[in-house]
Chains A and B, each alone.
Chain A
Amino acid sequence: DQQVKQNSPSLSVQEGRISILNCDYTNSMFDYFLWYKKYPAEGPTFLISISSIKDKNEDGRFTVFLNKSAKHLSLHIVPSQPGDSAVYFCAASGRGSQGNLIFGKGTKLSVKP
């Protein structure tokens, strides 16, 4: 039973355009959400996070949007660059569950020059 779902296994985008990666969750007790980026043979690298008290958080080219009523979050990358090509994981945690992140299966983003 997947509590965090990334329904698109892959996404291909042209360089300079916007990449939108989506994530849905089922557990209403989740209150902290993160996006990680992972290159092959490396560990996940933290990108951006958002607390459930917010609906948007921005850091440079990366913006995360949270829609609590729909239990949906998305990561926007604009403009997309070839170096953004990687697997992106959405993760969530609940209050009191220190470090116990629930990860989605990931979306492989390919940014074509």
Chain B
Amino acid sequence: NAGVMQNPRHLVRRRGQEARLRCSPMKGHSHVYWYRQLPEEGLKFMVYLQKENIIDESGMPKERFSAEFPKEGPSILRIQQVVRGDSAAYFCASSPFEGTNSPLHFGNGTRLTVT
């Protein structure tokens, strides 16, 4: 998974705090995707972003979750007022192409634990 960098690798937050997860895509990739994996589940799509634009946020919870991919800097997934159910592994992926049928390259994820 060289190239897609996520930090932090592990994040512990108390209920009610904010969590900020960062993702730098592979060099030359301008398309970023966030996925969430709950224990014993497959990955679930959350949001697709290009620079300064949210393209598809159909998988994002309606409240407390937001994502951005600014012109400069990494993509950020922000979870406000975290609850225990937010505990999961959050994976970022990137791709170079806009068209379909190009595989996504995933980072190693951020494991969020809410206590």
Contacts and interface: CB of A to CB of B under 8 A. Distances in A.
Q: Could you say which interface size class chain A belongs to?
A: 20 to 34
A51 interface: yes
A42 B100 contact: no
A66 interface: no
A110 interface: no
Contacts of A103: 35, 42-44
B105 interface: yes
A100 B59 contact: yes
Contacts, number: 72
A18 to B, nearest CB: 24
A95 B56 CA distance: 14
A101 B45 contact: yes
Contact of A98 (B1, B43, B91, B99): B99
A99 interface: yes
Contacts of B63: none
A91 B37 CA distance: 14
Given A43-B91, A105-B42, A98 B107 contact: no
A74 interface: no
The 5 closest A-B pairs by CB, nearest first: A103-B42, A43-B106, A46-B103, A99-B33, A103-B43
